[in-house]
Chains A and B, each alone.
Chain A
């Protein structure tokens, strides 16, 4: 399952400046493992020491926030777009 992964600015040091890379995997966890095999250390920026999504990172699979899906077990079908975005919010 080949997917496209959108890389935020602060992680582009790992991807040689590329804003989008491809990765393989049937779930988000597998995609992140594959990413880390190609770009060593990038997974540790997205997941914390317990292997969970860091508190201030939002990850989307085809525009769906994985926190409302199956977190790291969220399926990543072929051709899906995975976006890693720092968490920000408006409001008060």
Chain B
């Protein structure tokens, strides 16, 4: 990757207030290093590569963070948000529980295991974190419409945050989306638009609208650099909740790969800021076999990711052409982790396993992560003697259809004591 030397960009776009994006200084291309001013930009004008936020962090102490609110804004100095972010209505997600998962650990043969449980966020998924950061960016950029293409979690998070903020929201979904998922978003917004096509078609349409319409902030398109930074808070929280130290191993689901790259970025920032001790850690990616382009590339030992047509029950992981896939490969290889994939049957078993060992009803992405963790132990890729964290990205009520045929009554009996005794329960 050749670094392009560019002139220092203007650090603020005309019309932006001072400190609109906190300690962020510019948008930098991950591929070629080209820099552009902070604004509603997401693709490098030189090479189309993804733009990432660059910062000039001040000295930040553990005490300052600990004195902050019990949500992601305790890390506001490390996010592209203004210092007065807490005065703007948002869903205030984050600081979710880090559950000591002793039962699951025993079941998998891992010495020490925690589940970072993001199913307890305001709309029951990690998406509330990224959307909160996107909403702040939309506000600062003067956007009048808050929008996204989505099949589930993101739509819920955008519609709810927009309702809190009093900003018009428009959510685009594939028209064949299951009714319960439509209700989950439509309850928060009157502007749910069903598109005749699959998720890729909806995503493409969103990109086209974002390029044409003034004042529209599509969270995962034109304000994507700000949005994506929200996932860093998962990494910050894991470290803080472990007593300001990094775990040895983390297992994270991979769709576009963004979340995994941001957890790594968070760990690196914490080390640089002196908030945690520098130590080795391994990051593992979890995919479904029905959409495992990153796992396939990892196992083949290649850098290029061949796009696939997704076919899996893990619909939130069904990104056939993952934008951050190559960076996931880099991180897995650099940290000594891996990217593994599991079948739909293993995903369902993973959902049941987490529910029956820890009382957490996870969505298909979490079932994937649990099942991949099991497979990583069985195949000797994950060291069971090391402290491990797995990320549960969302709640199982979002993906009931995937599991409803798997669980049910152990018996159907007459309303009599004898019938009950006959069950042997």
Contacts and interface: CB of A to CB of B under 8 A. Distances in A.
Interface stretch (B177-185, B270-278, B318-326, B411-419): B318-326
A54 B221 CA distance: 18
A6 B207 CA distance: 12
Contacts of A10: 43-45, 48
Interface stretch (B73-81, B85-93, B148-156, B371-379): B148-156
Interface string A42-81: 0001000000001111101001010110000000000000
B284 interface: no
A92 B252 contact: yes
Interface string B173-216: 00000000000000000000000010111011001100110000
B317 A91 contact: yes
B317 A56 contact: no
Interface stretch (B52-60, B108-116, B254-262, B347-355): B254-262
B32 to A, nearest CB: 11
A89 B255 contact: yes
Given A87-B323, A88-B323, A91-B317, A54 B220 contact: no
- In the complex, which of the residues B44, B48, B207, B317 has the most CB atoms of chain A within 10 Å of its own CB atom? B48
Interface string B244-284: 00000000111111111000000000000000000000000
Given A55-B326, A89-B220, A67 B48 contact: no
A86 B208 CA distance: 10
B31 interface: yes
A43 to B, nearest CB: 13
A25 interface: no
A58 B254 CA distance: 20
Interface in B310-351: 316-319, 321-323, 326
Interface size bracket, B side: 35 or more
A54 B149 contact: no
Contact of A90 (B201, B212, B220, B252): B220
Contact of A67 (B197, B258, B321): B321
A22 B322 CA distance: 30
A6 B150 CA distance: 23
A68 B308 CA distance: 8
Given A56-B50, A86-B42, A86-B48, A91 B319 contact: yes
A9 interface: yes
B211 A90 contact: no
A38 interface: no
B362 interface: no
Contacts of A58: 204, 321
A36 to B, nearest CB: 16
A68 B309 contact: yes
A90 B200 contact: no
Contact of B319 (A57, A86, A89): A89
Contacts of A19: 211-212
- In the complex, which of the residues A6, A45, A56, A58 has the most CB atoms of chain B within 10 Å of its own CB atom? A56
B307 A68 contact: yes
A88 B252 contact: no
A23 interface: no
B256 A91 contact: yes
Nearest to A13: B45
Contacts of A87: 48, 321, 323
A4 to B, nearest CB: 13
Interface in A1-24: 6, 8-10, 13, 19
Given A88-B224, A89-B321, 10 more contacts: A56-B323, A60-B204, A68-B307, A86-B43, A87-B48, A88-B221, A88-B323, A89-B319, A92-B252, A92-B256
16 contacts: A8-B211, A10-B48, A45-B47, A55-B49, A56-B43, A65-B307, A88-B224, A89-B255, A90-B319, A91-B255, A91-B256, A91-B317, A92-B252, A92-B253, A92-B259, A92-B365
Interface of B: 31, 42-50, 126, 148-151, 154, 197, 199-201, 203-204, 207-208, 211-212, 220-221, 224, 231, 252-260, 307, 309, 316-319, 321-323, 326, 365, 393
Pairs A-B, 4 closest by C-beta atoms? A91-B255, A86-B43, A89-B256, A56-B48
